[in-house]
Amino acid sequence: MPIKKVVLLFLFVFGTLGIFYLGLFNYTEAYEVGITRNFVTGEIRLQTGGGMYITPPWVLVSNIDIRPTRVCLTTTARSFNCRLAEFKPEYYQEFVTTQGFRYWWWANRLSFNLGYDEEYRGFRDVLRGYAFGSQPRPFVIVTDGYDN
């Protein structure tokens, strides 16, 4: 077999696998849930449990970390300015109704908050907004202090 045919076969096989991986394959860690949106039917579902999933190309998946996350207000004040916020996956429908579906990883991704130790990117930025918001939401559990 000539070298040109081997190279073309190699490119075809890896190109096909690359398209399969980018278009149909998604992976969630054990501490994540995936919120899927089917753009054909409009259906929104929850992928629970970590692992590999294969979905059609018209289904998008956005992964959300469900571990408790420390979120803080970036301020020079010396008062207590941090909270522990946790996303509750059982209320994902209310979350998508309130926030809309998108790749939350991109939230605040291209801003530069120089001068502070903590920069909020992705879903942590979304959690921070709900943790310090004036109205409690069922999809975010906020811990203000510690019980002794």
Q: Could you tell me if 59 and 79 lie in one domain? A: no
**Rounded Cα distance, 123 and 107, in Å:** 7
**Rounded Cα distance, 85 and 89, in Å:** 13
Q: Could you tell me if 84 and 99 lie in one domain? A: yes
pLDDT score recorded for residue 143: 83
| 51-76 mean pLDDT | 87
Q: Could you tell me if 20 and 45 lie in one domain? A: yes
Is the pLDDT at 95 greater than 90? The verdict is: yes
pLDDT tens profile 110-124? 656 555 555 667 788
Q: How many domains does the chain have?
A: 2
Higher pLDDT, 128 or 81: 128
Q: Which domain holds residue 46?
A: 1-65
Which of these three, 65, 83, 98, is where a domain ends? 65
Q: Could you tell me if 19 and 82 lie in one domain? A: no
Q: What are phi and psi of 54, to 5 degrees?
A: -115, 125
Looking at the chain, the whole-number percentage of residues with pLDDT higher than 90 is 30
Q: Which structure tokens are listed for 102?
A: 């998108």
pLDDT tens profile 2-36? 888 888 888 888 888 777 767 788 889 999 999 99
Q: Which structure tokens are listed for 96?
A: 């998508």
Which of these three, 11, 43, 65, is where a domain ends? 65
